[in-house]
Amino acid sequence: MISTLVSQSSAAVLGVGGIVLLFASDTVLPRLSPGLPESAAWLGQVLGAAWLGLAALNWINRRAILGGVYARPIVFANLIHYFIAAMVLIRTASTLPPAIWILGVPATAFAFAYGLLLFRGPFDTPR
């Protein structure tokens, strides 16, 4: 099932990012945003916790049918997260280091996938 693959991939990306931000935000954040002081590590930890929460939601629902009217709150939460993340990263990519594209490309791809799931319905059902 394609929605299962999207959900598992999203859980993996968010889980890895969440763990990195939770345990190494004092190292990672100053590299992504050079003006950010190390004392702002709590901000990265809060973001890491949110990513881990969304990753857990995706992982728990990885075998559910996603799209259309099926699991709409899960699809909508992911769409909002990835769409806003993609828009912010694309807008600020010119002022941040090139490594920011590592975050922008998957966010854009997942925003597109969850948008299709929300508005088109499950990929796995024949039409």
Share of the chain above pLDDT 70, in %: 96
Greater pLDDT, 99 or 108 = 108
pLDDT digits (tens, 9 = 90+) for 20-50: 999 999 888 888 787 888 788 899 999 999 9
pLDDT attached to residue 31: 82
pLDDT attached to residue 104: 86
Q: Does this model's pTM top 0.85?
A: yes
Q: Is the pLDDT of residue 101 over 80?
A: no
Q: CB-based contacts of 65: which residues, under 8 Å, 6+ apart?
A: 1, 3, 71, 122, 124
Give burial (CB, 10 Å; 0-12/13-18/19+) of 87.
middle
pLDDT attached to residue 44: 92
Q: Is the pLDDT of residue 14 over 80?
A: yes
Q: Is the pLDDT of residue 55 over 60?
A: yes
- What's the distance, Cα to Cα, between the start and end of the chain in Å? 15
